[in-house]
Amino acid sequence: MRWLTALLTCCLPIPVLAHPHVFIDTGLEFIVDDAGQLTHIRVSWAYDELFSLLTLEDMKLDQDFDGILTDAEERFLTGFDAEWIEGYNGDLVVTAGGAPVLLSGPLEPHATTEDGRIVTTHLRAVEGGSVPANALAAKAFDETYYTAYEVTRPVTVSGPSSCQLDRLDPDIDGQLAQMQAFLLTLDADYDLEENDIPLVGEDFATEIRLSCPDT
């Protein structure tokens, strides 16, 4: 997705349009009980090199610049991205049979580094305890597209071996064509403060589908 930023910014007829400032490689672990019910989702985020560098410098961590944190530094870093404002959905939308699945805030946060990149994990519980895992869909995205999520880390199921995962990648070319058509309708006087910027984050999101038979 990093190539998309350059493509968008070079083609804009206006000074600024929503485009990613932070890039996160994402992984998901669906935790399913023996009854085929989803109980939790564990989320992993690997931040891009620049964001990681700036964050570590700002927090005065990894002062020897070896890309490896001490145990004390990991404890200090843990939770830096787990203090969510009310109403924030964690940039993760989950549905079951088309209906929204409510998830808790971040539980059991942990942070470390891999090759100099900050990598964090957190657990989210299904509100109400569980939901049938036979027609689930999950998308990781920021609707404003300030943060770009790519599902490049492992996507797994902890639970019945009969559970099946499917991946539906977005139609990048089609979405870009629509966006470019919209941009061509704008002129240099377009006022971003008085007009709504298109919320394109979901258009570029990968959808993960989970199906587990009832037991």
Q: With helix as H, strand as E and coil as C, how does 127-162 read?
A: CCCCEECCCEEEEECCCCCCEEEECCCCEEEECCCC
Per-residue pLDDT of the chain (215 residues; tens, 9 = 90+): 443 444 444 444 433 445 689 999 999 999 999 999 999 999 999 999 999 999 999 999 999 888 899 999 999 999 999 999 999 999 999 999 899 999 999 999 999 999 999 999 999 999 999 999 989 999 999 998 889 999 999 999 998 888 999 999 987 666 666 666 666 666 666 655 555 666 778 888 999 999 997 65
CATH of the domain at 84: 2.70.170
Number of domains in the chain: 1
- Give the burial class of 156: count Cβ atoms within 10 A of its Cβ; 0-12 exposed, 13-18 middle, 19 or more buried: middle
Q: What is the domain extent for residue 170? A: 2-211
Cβ atoms of 117 and 49 within 8 Å: the answer is yes
pTM of the predicted model, to two decimals? 0.83
Cβ atoms of 117 and 50 within 8 Å: the answer is no
